[in-house]
Structure 1
């Protein structure tokens, strides 16, 4: 004898199904007994499946029900939306509108979820159709529906329609304003987002944490660091710090302005830190080149209760890639294995990059080849690794294999390939890469064009590089630097100076590379007047404080024979590298002032500098000249000095150069 509907319904109503398995068994019994067609049984069964987060099973029950209600339909739609089953949601909605059996219609509780699903999976036509149905149904004036429409148009990049919906609202609450601000922000309309933020406050609404989460990331693009401080203060005043998500956003903001002191202070003042906060601080240090500090924060995190995730490992591996040793990177790799996230694609890509940068290309290849599915995210660091290790043929081979596997290259792939051809001085393959870039549409990418400019300049095809430069609609400082360097290589100082002036007239701000390229060019010609003019320019812009610029200036004045100016620059430096010492020594050697070379050599050793091959090429001729005049035979004392400082191979290489 089968139990009646009350006996079956009661355990459902009282939520006595402690597991999904027991609920399914009860569902089967309801179907067998035919009680599944009871309205109350259907309702409770659907609710029970939703309680176990099983929207698709709830949907199957709903679709077999004879007389479902709009309320039950809305329950199913809401759960489908919550779990991201947008296609199933839209199919259910479509049936509810057109099916003769389930024509339940919609209300203000249906439309927000349907509109959200449209923005996630449908095109513009479906969005307009839903909007029309909303208006036709008389729900166009409901604030929650209007806000959903605003979100929908903003998410699909149609901010003009989003703004129109907003302007048509009879009453706007904080959620509506936040939706508008977030829409502007996500579509890159930073100024419009800030203007909406000001209008919202002018309307008497107090911003909350969601408002600040939309506005704070924009501070860097629109104002000085003081604007971020003001936003921070306003958030405190409005009591928005109850939302923990605001702290990592502020940390990222300060890190973006390179104000790591403020970011760290905010981090340290936080009594309890979740994973997002740890990641924000680690990422802030990594992005600003503070590798040791990033490692320190990671170590603190490792000794806390926080468990690293993919974001943590990718950020910290970026720091490990730039450290002197690989030991730290290997430890991070082990931690990734321990937590079961080392095989995630973004982590594998970061590991490949880290091993390749430290010269362990075999380890990078092992990781690469053991990854079953290789996306572009993984191919690019592998190709870049071959490039950084001087394996030009491997760069081109990997690029070819990537395409054979059906992975399409992006601009980074093309830059790596072109750079490989440049370093190998392989003009033929470089031209092939150029042709491929044209066919695939990469030629409009400014970074790809810059790589091509360098290719032709380094392969002694400056006329082609110049032609490409003039075809570029937009030129960056890198484009101009390549052109200036090219003029310097062919010794056309007049055109070099003219290009620099044109660069400044176009409003492109020069950088250290520009200055060093120009000064290095003056080292090969005798144009003291122009050289002194550029020296004055470096002083005016504060570039002369950079050690690389100072080294170039010393070399330039030595080339002009102005040892007094070179020594004045040299003695005025607070710190010197071996390149600085070599620049002055080379100048003395070229003017046969060998005694001064030896004096400088003794001073640099007392200064704790380690001589390199360039140093020895300066010192050994000085030893020979001082001990044996112009004799080509290297004296024993010089041989001993060379072997002592650089080893037998360096001495043999130096003798080979002299005899060659």
Structure 2
């Protein structure tokens, strides 16, 4: 008898009608029957009244597992994914019969787990499915496959697919979609080829993924084959598929074909217009996209949220604030929800592109917790634009509200903490990521980069070794991390490992390897890498050529550095600055000045680094007049001298004996004087015996907080040389009180294509006795020739002690 009420449920178009039907079922005592109760659950949920659905479920005398599965679906339909997970976990841990051997609830809970990014729960569900013996269920198998795909676990998705007992069209379409959505379209097309070879006839849903894959690859031939198949199979009437074909052609760079297909369609729906607007955007025809939107309105076709996202994107890329605000008003007038999964982020992206961060935050807080993507978008924007503190604060607020960050906001926040040098914040995010089990490629690479930039290269290498499938970005992050932290031997070892294993090497890899050679002075290795660059066709890259100039110069081969510089097709201010520095460190002041003049005549404006290099060249050559000239000419280019410029000119004057002139420049500095500036003057006073200024400099250094021990060591040595042992010990005690330790110096030498590194007191090399004997004889010979050899620079007693041993 209860089946007679089924047509009545279908006739209920409003919540009021459904409530009246519910009341009638209660009066007739039919609300305790499972069929109408389950239908009530579904109907209330479809009308958005989840509270009524819960009331029906919990007022039913003995709800079964099927009804519980329907309630879970009700939450899922209303996008309450967190509540789905909480509800399932609650009943599972309390031992409720709802979750015992119930195959109906697994697809819904798996969908919720992927929606909240909970991979740990997904794996637990997979284990329970295996234990319950539901692996043969094709619906559950496809849900598992989709869950792993949405959580970027392609290897797990493929394993589930390979172990499926029966692969139907849905499962094949799912695996193709997994590969395409995760950025590996070629593998998706390979799976499509296997699907066709096994006699599975694709439908329009499968072809949607195939068209997307062709677009991502950008292969016109494949695109035309797909289009031909659609025509041959009579699927041209499918609006969604036609829209995908339009986007596919635009992604292949053939906007004319996309436009021709669009004009061929008789019935242009909202999605069709949206696809065309999106196609214009993909080809950076933003004004044409806005014109298409105007034509769409003239055609009296109502836009939807997706249309407005594309229009907002056009306004953002053009920087048209006025027009974008009009679009925002249009959204409000049409009662579109700014908390929509994509519309909210699009609005935030638009205002961010127009540098209206206040509007971004107002919009974000008006949306509140309803749109996680909006929070992720703003966090990523702050990090991308260098607002590191704002990115970290916003991320912390987001997590405090219980919102789940995605891989992009996690990677952006980690990057912000690296740029800000906040290792503690980065470690907290690392712990959060580990706890969630959410370690995709973006997050892992960001962690490697963060630990490297913060100086924790061992932690970076630990994460690097834990990554099973390393992309070229992962390798580059680690090689760059080693190189930037002075661990250049390890950087080159990783580069050699990539080369031996025939892994892909790009421009970034070469740049890091060249930098490592520069740090080590490893000329032969640098030449080998240069040869490899030529073989791979990267020799005309501006950044690589500039790095090669720097490497050859620092390795002492100035002639080759000049030859690489002269053959560069394009030179920027960095290239010129590095070549000027190259001549400077080799003492060729005239060549450095000539290059500076040529650079200015080439209409390339020098920057702060250029002037730093030309001043350094003057300092190496002792050219005081030229140094003064270039220091004074900085204002002609609108450049305000910084601490490094002041330290360089002070060092130049001090070494030349103009201590008073250097001191006058220091007194003219309006900003707080850096320790490096006082250190430069201090060194000059030591060279020329101006001990009258030492006390003043000591007082000034005492009020400056610096981690550089060189200035304190220099001051201590000056006191020691003057016989003021108490003052010398006092400076050393001050260093210890500040927790500073003198960083031991070291030297490197290349012999037979091998790098040797040694420092003071190092006895690890087998040739040490011969080296010490040579140095002792060399000192004796120098003293016989009347040369003044400073014993403080070489501890001869330790050499004699080593020889005796």
Could you list the per-position Cα deviations for residues 77-103 of structure 1 after superposition, in whole angstroms to 9, with x for gaps in the alignment? 22333x4x33x1233304633899678
User: Are positions 1:456 and 2:656 aligned together?
Assistant: no
Distance of aligned partners of 1:446 and 1:539 in 2 relative to their CA distance in 1, 3 Å threshold:
closer
Secondary structure of the corresponding residue to residue 775 of structure 2: coil
Separation of aligned partners in 2, 1:612 and 1:166: 75
Distance of aligned partners of 1:390 and 1:185 in 2 relative to their CA distance in 1, 3 Å threshold:
same
Decide which moves more: 258-267 or 537-546: 537-546
Could you list the per-position Cα deviations for residues 93-132 of structure 1 after superposition, in whole angstroms to 9, with x for gaps in the alignment? 0463389967867542123233334333425555545444
Could you list the per-position Cα deviations for residues 493-552 of structure 1 after superposition, in whole angstroms to 9, with x for gaps in the alignment? 4533333333443x4325222123313433664544322322333444465654569xxx
Decide which moves more: 277-286 or 253-262: 253-262
2:274 paired residue number: 74
Could you list the per-position Cα deviations for residues 230-254 of structure 1 after superposition, in whole angstroms to 9, with x for gaps in the alignment? 432321221211x222222111222
1:512 paired residue number: 709
1:212–1:246 CA contact under 8 A, matched in 2: yes
1:414 paired residue number: 611
- Root-mean-square deviation (CA), in Å? 4.0
Unmatched tracts of structure 2, length 5 or more: 1-206, 228-238, 747-758, 788-805
2:195 paired residue number: none
Distance of aligned partners of 1:532 and 1:435 in 2 relative to their CA distance in 1, 3 Å threshold:
same
Residues 166-181 of structure 1 aligned to structure 2 (within 5 Å): 166-169=364-367, 171-181=369-379
Distance of aligned partners of 1:400 and 1:221 in 2 relative to their CA distance in 1, 3 Å threshold:
closer
1:58 paired residue number: 258
2:521–2:554 CA contact under 8 A, matched in 1: no
1:349–1:381 CA contact under 8 A, matched in 2: yes
Separation of aligned partners in 1, 2:346 and 2:320: 16
User: Are positions 1:112 and 2:297 aligned together?
Assistant: no
Q: Out of 607, 610, 614, which is 2:775 matched to? A: 610
Q: Out of 260, 266, 279, which is 2:457 matched to? A: 260
Distance of aligned partners of 1:146 and 1:296 in 2 relative to their CA distance in 1, 3 Å threshold:
same
2:626 paired residue number: 429
1:206 paired residue number: 404
Residues 532-551 of structure 1 aligned to structure 2 (within 5 Å): 532-541=729-738, 546-547=743-744
Separation of aligned partners in 1, 2:352 and 2:279: 23
- Superposition deviation, residue 321 in structure 1: 1.3
Separation of aligned partners in 2, 1:321 and 1:67: 64
Secondary structure of the corresponding residue to residue 373 of structure 1: coil
User: Are positions 1:93 and 2:290 aligned together?
Assistant: yes
Q: Out of 232, 243, 259, which is 2:430 matched to? A: 232
Q: Out of 557, 576, 596, which is 2:761 matched to? A: 576
2:695 paired residue number: 497
2:601 paired residue number: 404
1:345–1:377 CA contact under 8 A, matched in 2: no
Secondary structure of the corresponding residue to residue 328 of structure 1: helix
Query: What TM-score, normalized to structure 2?
Result: 0.60
2:590 paired residue number: 393
1:250–1:263 CA contact under 8 A, matched in 2: yes
Secondary structure of the corresponding residue to residue 320 of structure 1: helix
Unmatched tracts of structure 1, length 5 or more: 1-11, 28-38, 550-573, 579-602, 623-660
Distance of aligned partners of 1:262 and 1:610 in 2 relative to their CA distance in 1, 3 Å threshold:
same
Could you list the per-position Cα deviations for residues 387-411 of structure 1 after superposition, in whole angstroms to 9, with x for gaps in the alignment? 2222211111111111222222111
Separation of aligned partners in 2, 1:324 and 1:387: 17
Separation of aligned partners in 2, 1:351 and 1:338: 15
- Superposition deviation, residue 306 in structure 1: 1.9
User: Are positions 1:293 and 2:490 aligned together?
Assistant: yes
Could you list the per-position Cα deviations for residues 317-337 of structure 1 after superposition, in whole angstroms to 9, with x for gaps in the alignment? 000112243111111112212
- Superposition deviation, residue 149 in structure 1: 2.0
Could you list the per-position Cα deviations for residues 111-164 of structure 1 after superposition, in whole angstroms to 9, with x for gaps in the alignment? 323333433342555554544454455446353222112123334544222111
Q: Out of 320, 325, 328, which is 2:525 matched to? A: 328
1:49 paired residue number: 249
User: Are positions 1:357 and 2:537 aligned together?
Assistant: no
Separation of aligned partners in 2, 1:371 and 1:104: 55
Separation of aligned partners in 2, 1:524 and 1:40: 85
Separation of aligned partners in 1, 2:687 and 2:251: 73
Could you list the per-position Cα deviations for residues 199-255 of structure 1 after superposition, in whole angstroms to 9, with x for gaps in the alignment? 2223222333223212222345668755544432321221211x2222221112222
Secondary structure of the corresponding residue to residue 410 of structure 2: helix
1:491–1:525 CA contact under 8 A, matched in 2: no
Distance of aligned partners of 1:19 and 1:539 in 2 relative to their CA distance in 1, 3 Å threshold:
closer
Decide which moves more: 270-279 or 72-81: 72-81
1:6 paired residue number: none
Secondary structure of the corresponding residue to residue 322 of structure 1: helix
1:69–1:104 CA contact under 8 A, matched in 2: yes
Decide which moves more: 48-57 or 184-193: 48-57
- Superposition deviation, residue 59 in structure 1: 4.5
User: Are positions 1:318 and 2:552 aligned together?
Assistant: no
Secondary structure of the corresponding residue to residue 443 of structure 1: coil
Separation of aligned partners in 1, 2:251 and 2:739: 66
- Superposition deviation, residue 483 in structure 1: 3.5
Query: What TM-score, normalized to structure 1?
Result: 0.72
Separation of aligned partners in 2, 1:575 and 1:20: 64
Distance of aligned partners of 1:151 and 1:451 in 2 relative to their CA distance in 1, 3 Å threshold:
farther
1:440 paired residue number: 637
Residues 477-488 of structure 1 aligned to structure 2 (within 5 Å): 477-488=675-686
Decide which moves more: 611-620 or 341-350: 611-620
Secondary structure of the corresponding residue to residue 109 of structure 1: helix
Separation of aligned partners in 1, 2:412 and 2:274: 30
Separation of aligned partners in 1, 2:412 and 2:681: 41
2:308–2:331 CA contact under 8 A, matched in 1: yes
Q: Out of 303, 308, 326, which is 2:500 matched to? A: 303
Separation of aligned partners in 1, 2:331 and 2:697: 60
Secondary structure of the corresponding residue to residue 245 of structure 1: helix
Distance of aligned partners of 1:425 and 1:324 in 2 relative to their CA distance in 1, 3 Å threshold:
closer
Distance of aligned partners of 1:46 and 1:423 in 2 relative to their CA distance in 1, 3 Å threshold:
same
Separation of aligned partners in 1, 2:547 and 2:696: 43
Could you list the per-position Cα deviations for residues 299-345 of structure 1 after superposition, in whole angstroms to 9, with x for gaps in the alignment? 11112242111110000100011224311111111221222212211
1:368 paired residue number: 565
1:442–1:448 CA contact under 8 A, matched in 2: no
Secondary structure of the corresponding residue to residue 522 of structure 2: coil
Distance of aligned partners of 1:181 and 1:20 in 2 relative to their CA distance in 1, 3 Å threshold:
closer
Secondary structure of the corresponding residue to residue 169 of structure 1: helix
